[in-house]
Structure 1
Amino acid sequence: MRRNGSIWVLTTAFVFAGVATTARAQQISEARIRELIKQAADRVANGEISGGVAQPAPAGAARPVVRLTLDDAVKFALERNLDIAVQRLNPEINDLSVASIRSVYHPSLTSTLVTQSTTTPSTSTISGTTGAGEGVIVGLGVYNGGIAQSIPWGGGSMTVALNNDRRTTTSLNTLYNPTYNTNWSGSYVQPILRGFKIDSTRQQLQVTKISRDISDVQLRATITNTLSNVRNAYWDYVFATQAVEVARQSLALAAKLVQDNQTRVEVGTMAPIDVVSAQSEQATRRQALVSAESSRRTTELALKRLIVAGTQDANWNAQLDPVDRPEFRAEPVDIDAAVRNALSRRTDLEIAKKHISANDFTLKFLQDQLKPQADVTATYGLVGLGGSQLITAGTGVNRTVTGSLPGGYGDALSTLFGRNFPRWTVSMAFSYPLGLSSQEASVARARVQLNQVQAQMKQIELQVATDVTNAAVTSQSAAEAVQAAQAARELSQKKLEAEQSKFEVGMSTNYFVVQA
């Protein structure tokens, strides 16, 4: 009995000793866990855990980093954007088209120089030879000059010409040898019905000028849209960059959770299945980081596409570092004022108005083609004659040259300016097609097209008002959403800080910190 009591006493002593030893072991294990967790956290902070933080590229392969503000991006776009560069050439092309059409009204100089000699056999007594079959040699020199020009006012055209020739001959029947003939003439053609107010050239000129104005508006539209796209691309890139940073922090916390759980498994306070769960979460966060990196590269390329002048641009191969951050200011939107401003400044409306003007000129031209054709032509001319005058004796075939009076081209000019031999002509040509003509069908079609463009303009105005109103409503909703998101972020930040505080005192785990 006493022996059994001794055994119970020893057993009880061993039990209490084991309990004390187990409690002391548990206290040491928890302290060790805290120390290991702290070491793991330090390793994560120093980037020593694989997969937690993206490793920097080798020094030789590192891309140059360009710190880029929003103003810099806008400046680069204005200077280097290829869409703007292409659009800037369109006004120049239209300027050349206008100059090409306007060249019709430039004066045109004409000239003719001819020299020839002709020998004709004599077949009659009036040929001026002394015997049958003798040759009559005639020499001719022509020196003509003139100027022609279309008039941009009234659709008229004028022509002024001065024709001169010098003739020599062996014929005895001539009175001058050499003979100088000079002929000055001026002609003006004026349409008085069709083509007086507008013609095809003036219609094309006006339409081309409007096209030139449209190209200016399109250039402004391209610049406006490009700058808007640059701003959107810049903020998208800022968002993508910050998303990468958030994904890296999330991956670091997930890696820290894996390290923490592995430490707990090593000391026997956690089941291995919990490590697998943490590793799964780490893999998910790594996948999110890869997706964020891909989105950042995509948004960076989209921004570069708008601000570089080609693949040879220095910024194309550089890494852009967006340094600006958005500042939110909720401002009220006056929808009525915004709609009025849009209707007065929208480029698509301005282009539609230009198209209406172009169609109006086309309609006026086609209506003018329905008028009768009535052209008045006025011509005035002077003739001059000069040369060495032959003195002859006898008549007919018995006529012989006994001498000459010297003369030349000056005599021809003297008689020309003396208006010794004037001539003038005034005429009018009239024509009018009978029955339905193709011009009437063209006018009807042009009227329909003009009405269609006017209806399209009203459609654009309605669409502009709708777009602006929707944008204003969306802006107000977005402002409210941003304010709500700011409040949610502040609460989430407080929740994260609370979880981190609980984690520091051992009342939480990295899993809940990651979820926070």
Structure 2
Amino acid sequence: MLMKRLFTSTLVICSVIGSWQRTVAQTPALNLNLPRSKNPFGPYIPSLVPAASLANSPRIDQLIRDGKLYLSLDDAIRLALENNLDIAISRYNLPIAEADIERTRAGGAFRGVNAGIVQNTPGGGVGGLGSGAPGAGAGGTTGGAGGAGSGASGIVQSTLGAGTAVSSYDPTITGTASIEHYTQPLSNLQIYGVPSLQLNTTGANLTYSQAFPTGTAFSFNFEDTRQTGNSIYNYLNPALNVYYRITFQQQLLAGFGLGPNLRYLRIAKNNRKISDIAFKDQVIATVTQIANMYWDLADAYQDVQVKERSFQFAKETLDRDQRQLELRAIPAMDVTKAGAEMENREQDLTSAKTTLVLQESLIKNALTKNLDDLTLEEIPVVPTERMNLDTDAAAGSTLESLTNEALRDRPELQESTIDLESRNISRSAARNALLPTVSLQGYYGGSGLAGVDNPASGYDSSVPTENSAAIRRAFNNSSPDYLVGLSVRIPLRNRVLKSDQYRSELEYRQSELLIQQQKKQIRIEVRNALYALQQSQARVASARRGCDLAQKTFDISKQEQQLGAGSNAQTLLAQRDLAVAESSLAEAETLYEKSRIELERAVGSTLENHGIAIDDAKQGAVAKTR
């Protein structure tokens, strides 16, 4: 009957567990916090993470009209926040950091959080096509706790988390039950009165143990045994023995207090802050990349339009020259030159279209989770954003104010500052670990006895026969067992811990220098970005004047040709100069936009200037646009 009930209960528990697991597996959203459950079996059931959704967000379908994807810079950024896989990969670091906190709350060592930037999306100077992206860092698979991975930027972090051993703060219950039959042949009858000793022992043991962040350890042990034997000299058969002990231990030097015992938790919380900042840095880097890709696309799109106009004009000129050649109004050499010019411009147009197709493919790859839809893969992209030359962009803020803003808002500097706090925690714990281990120990217990008198012994023990009486006797202080002691452990020379402590001091000072180096680097980046923006403004102004002059020259040449005072060759040359000037203007405008984007990144204002809420990026869903 007992086995049947146990089997039925097991089936019910398995059914509940299976149902709960299926429910978790069907959850679509990424939970940024460790799952909680009121299920009493929750601590023993794996928390499943649902597979990532690989469907593109509906926003991309809303932007398709007449078989084309019309894309503004704001649309591109929102699509990247929803679909870009670099951000999606980095997003998992947030719950990973949260899981580390839960682990260290129980006394476990932190496993570390990746603070590097994922940059697997090609384009915009990333992923093998061009130079590294601004703000580029360690890849998405690079491990490392804190703001700098192991060996990153020349920084060592081998003593991060150093100190005395930390016990588990989760209470543990251990229970054992056993039945033993023991037989021993004897060489004489003097000890037990029988030629062969037989003992049957039934035992149960229960232990509760727990450690605390103060350096305190507590345990409670309870033992209950029942033994029968064939010895005629046993006064009790069966004999019932009950014993309990409450044990207490407190560290007094090394391992004493909340500092060394909560260091893992405090570092894990700092790592959680770092993961938030690192994710912000990831969003900034990706938005910077997307913006650069967008203006590369706009430049390529505008260049195709310029080349198409140039080709069409050359084609019209050739057609007109061929008609005039039929009338013998011009020499055949002019037609040959016009044909060669048209071929050159057609080649330029083909090259520009190829570049445009590449830029379209790159940005569609960056703004989607998948390109399985062949229609989406082949659909042309039309950039709708136009350059807005902000003449006050460089003059609106002083170099000093921009530098101060960057020193306040740059993510990598914030990460290093928090990482320095973690190193200081480790430094203090390493100092504590140098002390001798002094433990105050004590326990208190009691024993109880019960049983049935053995008729063969002829002795009247006058003890109770019930097991409950043995338990009462154990706890009524009639047979106490107690101890108070002091344990001291002094490692002579102590070279290992001394080396770790000194190394933690060196690593802390090393990290201080890294922060100073980062501040200097930030100042240089802001200065260079501001100067580049000012130079690009001047270049745009110069390109616009050149374009205006080329337009006037072309208009005059065209008018002269219509009046018979100019040649087709002169008009073709003037139109080519106009096309070159228009392409140069588009290139200058693109460089200006990229310079403005780089200044935003250098200052740390990318998200603010584009109206990006970091919470939207964490959820991967943008509720509204600017």
- The question of whether the paired residues in 1 share the 8 Å contact of 2:453 and 2:459 is answered with no
Report the equivalent of 1:147.
208
1:239 paired residue among 284, 299, 313: 299
Runs of 5+ consecutive residues of structure 1 not aligned to the other structure: 1-62, 393-397
- The question of whether the paired residues in 1 share the 8 Å contact of 2:453 and 2:460 is answered with no
- The question of whether the paired residues in 1 share the 8 Å contact of 2:260 and 2:428 is answered with no
- The question of whether the paired residues in 1 share the 8 Å contact of 2:77 and 2:290 is answered with yes
State the distance in 2 between where 1:475 and 1:138 align: 93
Instruction: Report the TM-score, using the length of structure 1 for normalisation.
Output: 0.79
Report the equivalent of 1:471.
529
Report the equivalent of 1:339.
403
- The question of whether the paired residues in 2 share the 8 Å contact of 1:308 and 1:316 is answered with no
Matched, 1:70 2:73: yes
Q: CA deviation at 1:344?
A: 1.0
Counterpart amino acid of 2:471?
Answer: L
Counterpart amino acid of 2:418?
Answer: K
State the distance in 2 between where 1:426 and 1:400 align: 41
State the distance in 1 between where 2:463 and 2:218 align: 39
State the distance in 2 between where 1:405 and 1:161 align: 24
Counterpart amino acid of 2:226?
Answer: R
- The question of whether the paired residues in 2 share the 8 Å contact of 1:254 and 1:510 is answered with no
Q: CA deviation at 1:98?
A: 3.5
Change (3 A) 1:280 1:485: same
Report the equivalent of 1:385.
449
SS of 1:400 mapped into structure 2? coil
CA deviations over 1:429-484 (Å, ceiling 9, x no partner): 11223336122222222222221111111111011011112212222232233333
- The question of whether the paired residues in 2 share the 8 Å contact of 1:127 and 1:136 is answered with no
RMSD over aligned Cα atoms = 2.6
Matched, 1:451 2:451: no
1:354 paired residue among 380, 403, 418: 418
2:384 paired residue among 297, 302, 323: 323
2:174 paired residue among 99, 103, 110: 110
Change (3 A) 1:369 1:424: same
- The question of whether the paired residues in 1 share the 8 Å contact of 2:69 and 2:379 is answered with yes
State the distance in 1 between where 2:417 and 2:399 align: 24
Report the equivalent of 2:197.
136
State the distance in 2 between where 1:166 and 1:403 align: 17
SS of 1:353 mapped into structure 2? helix
2:216 paired residue among 122, 143, 156: 156
Counterpart amino acid of 1:147?
Answer: Y
- The question of whether the paired residues in 1 share the 8 Å contact of 2:451 and 2:466 is answered with yes
State the distance in 2 between where 1:448 and 1:402 align: 75
Residue correspondence of structure 1 range 159-308 to structure 2 within 5 A: 159-197=219-257, 202-308=262-368
CA deviations over 1:477-506 (Å, ceiling 9, x no partner): 322333333344344434444444444444
SS of 1:327 mapped into structure 2? coil
- The question of whether the paired residues in 1 share the 8 Å contact of 2:173 and 2:207 is answered with yes
Residue correspondence of structure 1 range 367-446 to structure 2 within 5 A: 367-390=431-454, 399-400=457-458, 407-435=465-493, 437-446=495-504
State the distance in 1 between where 2:284 and 2:171 align: 42
- The question of whether the paired residues in 2 share the 8 Å contact of 1:366 and 1:443 is answered with yes
CA deviations over 1:400-441 (Å, ceiling 9, x no partner): 368987622110111122121112111111122333612222
Counterpart amino acid of 1:380?
Answer: Y
State the distance in 2 between where 1:511 and 1:242 align: 25
CA deviations over 1:141-166 (Å, ceiling 9, x no partner): 11111111221x22222211111111
SS of 2:253 mapped into structure 1? coil
SS of 1:420 mapped into structure 2? coil
The structure having more radius of gyration, on CA atoms, is: 1
- The question of whether the paired residues in 1 share the 8 Å contact of 2:260 and 2:432 is answered with no
State the distance in 2 between where 1:487 and 1:101 align: 64
Runs of 5+ consecutive residues of structure 2 not aligned to the other structure: 1-65, 107-167, 576-626
State the distance in 1 between where 2:248 and 2:438 align: 14
Q: CA deviation at 1:201?
A: 6.3
State the distance in 2 between where 1:126 and 1:496 align: 130
Instruction: Report the TM-score, using the length of structure 2 for normalisation.
Output: 0.66
Which has the higher mean CA deviation after the structures are superposed, 173-182 or 449-458? 173-182
State the distance in 1 between where 2:504 and 2:520 align: 24
CA deviations over 1:193-226 (Å, ceiling 9, x no partner): 1111468764444334333332222211111111
Q: CA deviation at 1:399?
A: 4.3
Counterpart amino acid of 2:507?
Answer: Q
Higher strand share: 1
State the distance in 2 between where 1:69 and 1:460 align: 34
State the distance in 2 between where 1:439 and 1:349 align: 31
State the distance in 1 between where 2:504 and 2:81 align: 40
Counterpart amino acid of 1:369?
Answer: A
Change (3 A) 1:288 1:201: farther
Change (3 A) 1:374 1:382: same
Counterpart amino acid of 1:345?
Answer: D
Counterpart amino acid of 1:88?
Answer: R
Report the equivalent of 1:14.
none
CA deviations over 1:253-274 (Å, ceiling 9, x no partner): 1112222222222222222122
Change (3 A) 1:126 1:64: farther
Report the equivalent of 2:544.
486
SS of 1:105 mapped into structure 2? coil
State the distance in 1 between where 2:464 and 2:487 align: 46
Report the equivalent of 2:12.
none
SS of 1:385 mapped into structure 2? strand
Change (3 A) 1:96 1:402: closer
